[in-house]
Each structure stands twice: as structure tokens, then as C-alpha cells.
């Protein structure tokens, strides 16, 4: 069994010296002072009221820091006249139905997708991507179903002509 060398790691079960009394501690060092402690005089050192940031330069509007500009004047970096926020444009209902009907009844999805795209161009509603997706899926599913039916019909005709009784 080996023992730690003298001056090595201290025993964790023995009481330790409190902070500030450890070897090499210099109370006059700026790194050993508490950055959150209040100044010794009790007053702020920057000349500003307590709780306000120090003034490194005057604001552009002449107002003290932390206060909004008076009514009618633009804020920092803001345009003078702001448009009110009206919210997002509503989604076109036909576009949503086009996407849903692509999986239920694909030919109806094609019709609804074209109607939705026309309505979106006229009204400025959102949902152009939904209408396009409904159109594409409607066309793909309708064409694949038509090809499947054509293959079944061709296969049944071909198999009925080859039978001999």
C-alpha cells in the first residue's frame, strides 16, 4: 500500500481552511475582492442613480438611459411610422382540402388544387404549397391508378384469348 506524498492532496475528511485564509491569498489583489459587494462608501461610484447603468455617452435622443423616447418620436433604429401588425394571412381552405383529398379521392384533389391556386392568387392567402402538394399527389395517384387499371384490363384480355376448351 502506498501513501500520498507529503504536501500532496489533502484528506477530504479533515476540515479545510476557509476561503481567504489559504496560503498565497492576497487581500489587496483585485482578483480576490467580491465583485458583487457594495462599495465601501455605500454610494454608487459611477455618479448614476443606484440601479442605472453608467453613462458612457449621451443617447441620441437626449433621454436618460432606461426610459423610452416620448410618444411620437421613433426609438433607436426604428422607422418613424410603423405599420400595425396584422398577423399572418389565413390558409386557404381549398388548399387544405386538396391535400386531404389526394389520399381520399385523387381526382377531386386535382380540381380543388386548381381552384385553391386561383383563389390564392386573387386573395393573397397562404397555402400555396399545400395546393401544389395536393395537385402533384392528385396527379400522381390518379395516373398510377389509371395505369394499374389499364394493366389489369390488358392482362385479362390477354388471358381470355389464350384459353382453349
What would the mean pLDDT of 92-121 be, rounded to a whole number?
Answer: 96
pLDDT interval class at 13 (50, 70, 90): confident
Over residues 71-94, the mean pLDDT reads 69
Task: Give yes or no for residue 127 having a pLDDT over 70.
Answer: yes
Banded model confidence at residue 32, pLDDT cuts 50, 70, 90? low
Report pLDDT for 71. Answer: 62
> Exposed, middle or buried, 86 (CB in 10 Å: 0-12/13-18/19+)?
exposed
| pLDDT given at position 1 | 59
Domain ranges of the chain: 93-160
Distances in whole angstroms, Cα of residue 55 to Cα of each of 42, 47, 66, 89, 102: 20, 9, 11, 44, 63
**Confidence tier at 40 by pLDDT (50, 70, 90):** low
pTM of the predicted structure, to 2 decimals: 0.47
Q: Is the pLDDT of residue 17 over 80?
A: no
**More confident site: 8 or 122:** 122
CA-to-CA separations, 151 to 33, 144, 147, 157, in angstroms, rounded: 87, 11, 6, 10
With a cut of 60, say whether residue 51 has pLDDT above it.
no
Is the pLDDT at 139 greater than 90? The verdict is yes
Q: Does the pLDDT at position 132 exceed 80?
A: yes
Residue 74 pLDDT greater than 90, yes or no: no
Amino acid at each position: 500500500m502506498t501513501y500520498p506524498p507529503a504536501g500532496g492532496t489533502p484528506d477530504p475528511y479533515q476540515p479545510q481552511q476557509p476561503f481567504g485564509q489559504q496560503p498565497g491569498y492576497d487581500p489587496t489583489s483585485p482578483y480576490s475582492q467580491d465583485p458583487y459587494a457594495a462599495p465601501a462608501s455605500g454610494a454608487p461610484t459611477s455618479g448614476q442613480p443606484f440601479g442605472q447603468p453608467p453613462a458612457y455617452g449621451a443617447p441620441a435622443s437626449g433621454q436618460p438611459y432606461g426610459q423610452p423616447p416620448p410618444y411620437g418620436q421613433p426609438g433607436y433604429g426604428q422607422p418613424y411610422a410603423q405599420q400595425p401588425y396584422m398577423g399572418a394571412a389565413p390558409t386557404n381552405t381549398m388548399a387544405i382540402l386538396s391535400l386531404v383529398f389526394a389520399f381520399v379521392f385523387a381526382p377531386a384533389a386535382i380540381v380543388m388544387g386548381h381552384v385553391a391556386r386561383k383563389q390564392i392568387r386573387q386573395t393573397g392567402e397562404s397555402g400555396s404549397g399545400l395546393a401544389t402538394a395536393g395537385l402533384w399527389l392528385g396527379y400522381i395517384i390518379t395516373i398510377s391508378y389509371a395505369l394499374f387499371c389499364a394493366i389489369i384490363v390488358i392482362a385479362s384480355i390477354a388471358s381470355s384469348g389464350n384459353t382453349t376448351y
